[in-house]
Amino acid sequence: MKTILLAILLLLHPVHVSLTGIEYDDVNRVWSVFVKVWSDDLYADMNLGRSGGGVISGNREERFFLYLSDRLIIMEDGAPVQMELLSATVDGLEHRFTLRATGKTVPGSVTVINRIMTRLYEDQANMLLISLGGLEEGYRFTVTDTMKSYKVK
């Protein structure tokens, strides 16, 4: 009975969450990033366009890349790193993305900005798992908290 009640509550109030993993290889200065989002939420948020205005257009991969580079930003000492989309897979219910970036130098600080679906849902939670040097941490971004900074040195 409790299981049925929980299932009904989830149907009435869906979970709005994404998962991002970021790993930094300080020897090669390479950022490895994965993002997992619900497909229906992704398309609804993509239809809102870029954060600063403008349409997200192009072929499938270009649209995904424009969306992700607008909503997920990694900065080294205040300068954004330029990511590239390596893969985009869909299983019907969720999209999974793999991205990579090369850093310029060993940063003193790293800032992660995550605005995935924050204009779409007031209860959006964007979970982050980050591995940076000796630091391994989880963090929860919300609509009002979209930025987290880390000291590296």
What does the domain layout of the chain look like in residue ranges?
15-151
Summarize pLDDT for 31-75 with one digit per residue, the tens.
999 999 999 899 999 999 999 888 999 999 999 999 999 999 999
Closest by CA position to 116, among listed 147, 91, 85: 147
pLDDT under 50: residue ranges of the chain: 5-13
How far apart (Å, rounded) are the C-alpha atoms in residues 47 and 41?
10
* Helix or strand holding residue 68 (H, E): helix 60-71
Question: Model pTM?
Answer: 0.88
Q: What is the pLDDT of residue 93?
A: 85
